[in-house]
A and B are shown apart, each in its own frame.
Chain A
Amino acid sequence: MNAAPPAADAFLERLPLIARDMLTVWFPEPARWLLNSLLAIAAIIISFATLFSLLTLAERKILGRVQNRPGPNRTGLPFLPFTAGRIFGLGQPFADGIKMLTKEDIVPRAADQFLHFLAPVALLALSILTFAVIPFGRHLVPVELDAGVLYFFAAGAATELAIFMAGWASRNKFALLAAMRALAQLISYELPLLLSIVPVIMLAQSLSPTAIVTAQGTLPHWYVCTPWGFAAFVIFFIAALAESNRSPFDLPEAESELIAGHLTEYSGFKYAIFFMAEYFGMCALSGMGVTLFLGGWQAPFSFLEFIPSYVWFGAKLLTLLLLFIWIRATFPRLRMDQLTRLAWKFLVPLALINLLTAAFWHHSHNWSTPLQLVRWAIAIFLVVSPFLWLGRALTQTFRPRTYRYA
């Protein structure tokens, strides 16, 4: 970023940096880099832990509203004035936390004690690692890695290992089945997830999240506003649903089939850690989706740049998270074979064809203005026709029926 735009120097934009410097200025220079890193880690963990607790409440409230019921609205914050103690059930996350902390931690006698303990820890650690490379704002990049995107997906894929560990170590048949499902799901969906982001890397010509964000400008230049970008975003989002074990791909913890899947033998705070790690994974994948397709921390229009970049990032992140919740409230669950079929026979071919579309888009960017319409038409055709063709093959085994009467 040579010739930084004036928005980069605005007071609100620099506020996190100023706050950090006010803390670290009291320490000698050699220790500052360490303190800066520690502060970044603390800020990420605190803000996402808060987001997690509010998100659990938001999810329950939204699910409740979708289902014609109020959701949790009894537990409040009694120390808040004028709220009669129960403002939107805002105290629910704290009550849940206290409950989880005080519950007995039960480890089955036959379980592998060490792995049973290690699984939630590993899952949480790995999912926090993925936050390191996401640019949360113009000046808020925890670690500037040139291959940040690669690092993100490597760390993210490792979380499934922890789920398998949990299922295996529990020495429970349901947990074992869940572990198998988790592995199959990982192998199936890692591929469309990675293939869907390849066009972004091709066109941004960088693996660095910061460079990818900078390559997108205001709204018309976000990658999601191109035909290939939209297709890639949809594939990415579906694969992200599966990667974070969210409905309708929540097979590893399918409640109606496998009781609680890999979480069957977990209780107390270990269970809470699993829960937290899954939400962290969801947040991280949403954050990466925002970075890759939705312009990252960029404002949609340049006149809106007075709002600091981290606010824009947060708003986009929340939008994606609400989309996750909405989908959860709406769909029944897929079966294992249907899940893998969707990945291998639909998402992977679509993502591969999308590579061609992106290449065409890249090489036709200097077509003259009247030809731009042709360019759009060709690109949309390249996206829509394989979608319809593959989709018909996917859905040909079932159709709406009519019934006869005696």
Chain B
Amino acid sequence: MNELTPPSFNPPSGAQVRAVHDAFHGDLLEVSMGPHHPSTHGVFRMMVTLDGETIVKLKPVFGYLHRNHEKLGENTTYLSSMPYTDRLDYLNSMTNNWAYALAVEKLAGQSVPERAEYLRVILAELTRLLNHTCLAGFLLQDCGASGTPLMYAFREREKILDLFEALSGSRMMCNYQRFGGCRVDPSPEWLTAAQSLTDGYGRFLDEYESLITQNEILMARTQGVGVLSPALAVSAGVTGPMLRATGVNYDLRKVDAYGFYPRFPFRVPLGDHGDTYDRYMIRILEMRESITILQQAFRTLPSGPIIDPKAKLRGFRPKPGEAYGRIEGPKGEIGFYLISDGSPNPYRYRVRPPSLVNLTILEDLCLGQTLADAVIILGSIDIVLGEVDR
């Protein structure tokens, strides 16, 4: 760095940013990307300050989709919050349901029958497949591919949504989990269909990867872009595939060993660079692990009741206390914190949304990158605005 270079500052991610407000470089350009911008994944807004096309400042603005979710949860009974959790991360209603059910079960000290635990694992892993498939499609769309990868991804997503619809009656707003078990028992035909989908999913991944993973343009666009350091990721509370892409081995399925996950051996893929390409690849590799979990679960699925016979749905009043239930959602740690005062409604209802926490480091990832990179970095963080804004 010579004397002519204006003073620079190093954001935590290590990106070098030039101070540019001098006579030679002229003024900076402030651009408001969003809330109605085609690639902000909903109503999200980035106030971007640009030097040419290089980002020197980025201010995320959210809250456009705020629906008062947590206050609503405090004013309704425990069970009537369950369908609302579908609307948090509307791609992954099954895992939202599970995390909420887990929190309430901890609060009320309920147990879950074996078959229901298996079904929860199966549905959570199907959800993970669905979410990561969508992400792979969206990310490529943000990279500027004319819809082809997205359509390939959505073809597979449709199959999973059809399964969800056949099971729960709804494609996206599944409302499937209950405190102490699940709502309906899948038919043998459903299980066969789900099993054949799982067996065929590896072929889709092979096809998708052979088409795009080693594409030179994709590698050039994503490798070294939006590098997240493990230290920043840990201190910011980043979880999920985004954290594992930085090389931190933290998967709640292994750490908490909730549900029946200890029964299914699977591996946790880790990245070494923490850039956008790693975040993409970790998700692809996680899908392959999900397939093995699903295959084991289908093989060993026991019969039995799907809900604890002692579970009370009406007049449900857990004794006073507090509980935090969390699971490894497709986007990261999704948790629900509940305080009960013995009444039918929770006294305090708080969601720990992975999208929001992962989004907080957006500026650190984007500084020094170009406007085009910001779009794919945002895409690789994998946010759903329903969950960010709640």
Q: Does B bind A?
A: yes
Residues of B within 8 A of A335 (CB): 220-221, 370, 372-373
Q: Is the CB of A406 within 8 A of B220?
A: no
The residue of chain B having its C-beta at the shortest distance from the C-beta of A251 within the complex is: B372
From 366 to 406 in chain A, residues with beta carbon under 8 angstroms from any chain B beta carbon are 395, 397-401, 403-406
Residues of B within 8 A of A248 (CB): 144, 217
Q: Is the CB of A398 within 8 A of B224?
A: yes
A256 part of interface (Cβ distance < 8 Å): yes
Q: Would you give the shortest CB distance from B6 to chain A, in whole angstroms?
A: 21
Residues of B within 8 A of A337 (CB): 370
Q: How far is the CA of A292 from the CA of B188 in the complex (A)?
A: 65
Q: Would you give the shortest CB distance from B256 to chain A, in whole angstroms?
A: 15
Q: Would you give the shortest CB distance from A109 to chain B, in whole angstroms?
A: 18
Q: Which of A247, A255, A329, A400 contacts B214 (CB 8 A)?
A: A400
The residue of chain B having its C-beta at the shortest distance from the C-beta of A405 within the complex is: B267
Q: Would you give the shortest CB distance from B293 to chain A, in whole angstroms?
A: 14
A143 part of interface (Cβ distance < 8 Å): no
Q: Is the CB of B151 within 8 A of A67?
A: yes
From 327 to 367 in chain A, residues with beta carbon under 8 angstroms from any chain B beta carbon are 328-338
Q: Is the CB of B281 within 8 A of A257?
A: no
Q: How far is the CA of A247 from the CA of B30 in the complex (A)?
A: 27
B282 part of interface (Cβ distance < 8 Å): yes
Q: Is the CB of A336 within 8 A of B53?
A: yes
Q: How far is the CA of A120 from the CA of B93 in the complex (A)?
A: 47
B147 part of interface (Cβ distance < 8 Å): yes
Q: Is the CB of B217 within 8 A of A334?
A: yes
A-binding segment of B112-120, B270-278, B360-368:
B270-278
15 new A-B contacts at CB < 8 Å, known A403-B281, A403-B285: A63-B146, A63-B147, A63-B148, A250-B144, A255-B144, A256-B143, A256-B375, A257-B144, A330-B145, A332-B212, A336-B370, A395-B220, A404-B272, A405-B270, A406-B270
Q: Is the CB of B219 within 8 A of A177?
A: no
B168 part of interface (Cβ distance < 8 Å): no
Residues of A within 8 A of B296 (CB): none
Q: Is the CB of A254 within 8 A of B372?
A: yes
B29 part of interface (Cβ distance < 8 Å): yes
List of 3 A-B pairs having minimum Cβ-Cβ separation, nearest first: A333-B144, A67-B151, A332-B143
| Pairs across A and B, CB under 8 Å, 20 listed | A63-B147, A66-B148, A174-B31, A177-B371, A254-B372, A255-B38, A255-B39, A256-B142, A256-B143, A256-B144, A332-B218, A333-B372, A335-B220, A397-B223, A401-B272, A401-B273, A403-B270, A406-B249, A406-B254, A406-B270
Q: Is the CB of B268 within 8 A of A406?
A: yes
B8 part of interface (Cβ distance < 8 Å): no
B77 part of interface (Cβ distance < 8 Å): no
In this complex, the member of A174, A254, A256 whose beta carbon has the largest number of chain B beta carbons within 10 angstroms is A256
Q: Would you give the shortest CB distance from A95 to chain B, in whole angstroms?
A: 21
Residues of A within 8 A of B271 (CB): 403
Contacts A173-B31, A257-B39; is A332 near B145 (CB within 8 Å)?
yes
Q: Is the CB of A398 within 8 A of B375?
A: no
Q: How far is the CA of A46 from the CA of B39 in the complex (A)?
A: 38
Residues of A within 8 A of B282 (CB): 403
From 252 to 268 in chain A, residues with beta carbon under 8 angstroms from any chain B beta carbon are 254-259
Q: Which of B53, B140, B272, B370 contacts A332 (CB 8 A)?
A: B140
Q: Would you give the shortest CB distance from A110 to chain B, in whole angstroms?
A: 15
In this complex, the member of A176, A335, A397 whose beta carbon has the largest number of chain B beta carbons within 10 angstroms is A335
Q: How far is the CA of A176 from the CA of B216 in the complex (A)?
A: 29
Q: Is the CB of B285 within 8 A of A256?
A: no
Q: How far is the CA of A398 from the CA of B220 in the complex (A)?
A: 6
For A, the interface residue count at a CB cutoff of 8 angstroms equals 41
Q: Is the CB of B371 within 8 A of A334?
A: no
Report the tally of A-B residue pairs with Cβ distances under 8 A. Answer: 128
Report, as a range, how many residues of chain B touch the other chain: 35 or more
Produce 1/0 per residue, B146-159, CB < 8 A to A.
Answer: 11100110010000
Q: Is the CB of B281 within 8 A of A401?
A: yes
In this complex, the member of B140, B148, B151 whose beta carbon has the largest number of chain A beta carbons within 10 angstroms is B148
Q: Which of B38, B50, B151 contacts A256 (CB 8 A)?
A: B38
Residues of A within 8 A of B285 (CB): 403
Q: How far is the CA of A395 from the CA of B216 in the complex (A)?
A: 8
The residue of chain A having its C-beta at the shortest distance from the C-beta of B218 within the complex is: A332
Q: How far is the CA of A257 from the CA of B48 in the complex (A)?
A: 12
B215 part of interface (Cβ distance < 8 Å): yes
Q: Would you give the shortest CB distance from B159 to chain A, in whole angstroms?
A: 12
Q: Is the CB of B148 within 8 A of A398?
A: no
A47 part of interface (Cβ distance < 8 Å): no
A102 part of interface (Cβ distance < 8 Å): no
**A→B interface (CB under 8 Å):** 63, 66-69, 173-174, 176-177, 180, 247-248, 250-251, 254-259, 328-338, 395, 397-401, 403-406
Q: How far is the CA of A398 from the CA of B218 in the complex (A)?
A: 10
The residue of chain A having its C-beta at the shortest distance from the C-beta of B373 within the complex is: A335
Q: Is the CB of A254 within 8 A of B148?
A: no
Q: Is the CB of A334 within 8 A of B148?
A: no
The residue of chain B having its C-beta at the shortest distance from the C-beta of A256 within the complex is: B39
Q: Which of B39, B142, B146, B220 contacts A247 (CB 8 A)?
A: B146
Residues of A within 8 A of B145 (CB): 330-333
B269 part of interface (Cβ distance < 8 Å): yes
Residues of A within 8 A of B278 (CB): 401
Produce 1/0 per residue, B116-143, CB < 8 A to A.
Answer: 0000000000000000000000001111
Residues of B within 8 A of A254 (CB): 144, 372
From 220 to 249 in chain B, residues with beta carbon under 8 angstroms from any chain A beta carbon are 220-221, 223-224, 249
B37 part of interface (Cβ distance < 8 Å): yes
Residues of A within 8 A of B223 (CB): 397-398, 401
Q: Would you give the shortest CB distance from B62 to chain A, in whole angstroms?
A: 19
Contacts A336-B53, A397-B223, A398-B224; is A403 near B147 (CB within 8 Å)?
no
Q: Is the CB of A68 within 8 A of B144?
A: no
Q: Is the CB of A259 within 8 A of B220?
A: no
Residues of B within 8 A of A405 (CB): 267-270
The residue of chain A having its C-beta at the shortest distance from the C-beta of B244 within the complex is: A406
Q: Would you give the shortest CB distance from A291 to chain B, in whole angstroms?
A: 28
Q: How far is the CA of A173 from the CA of B249 in the complex (A)?
A: 42
Produce 1/0 per residue, B7-29, CB < 8 A to A.
Answer: 00000000000000000000001
Contacts A257-B372, A331-B215, A403-B281; is A177 near B148 (CB within 8 Å)?
no
Q: How far is the CA of A338 from the CA of B39 in the complex (A)?
A: 21
Q: How far is the CA of A401 from the CA of B143 in the complex (A)?
A: 19
The residue of chain A having its C-beta at the shortest distance from the C-beta of B141 within the complex is: A256
Q: Would you give the shortest CB distance from B102 to chain A, in whole angstroms?
A: 23
Residues of A within 8 A of B39 (CB): 255-257
Q: How far is the CA of A186 from the CA of B140 in the complex (A)?
A: 26
Q: How far is the CA of A7 from the CA of B149 in the complex (A)?
A: 48
Residues of A within 8 A of B37 (CB): 259
The residue of chain B having its C-beta at the shortest distance from the C-beta of A399 within the complex is: B219
Residues of B within 8 A of A174 (CB): 31
Q: How far is the CA of A343 from the CA of B219 in the complex (A)?
A: 18
Residues of A within 8 A of B375 (CB): 256-257
Q: Is the CB of A173 within 8 A of B144?
A: no
Q: How far is the CA of A369 from the CA of B2 in the complex (A)?
A: 61
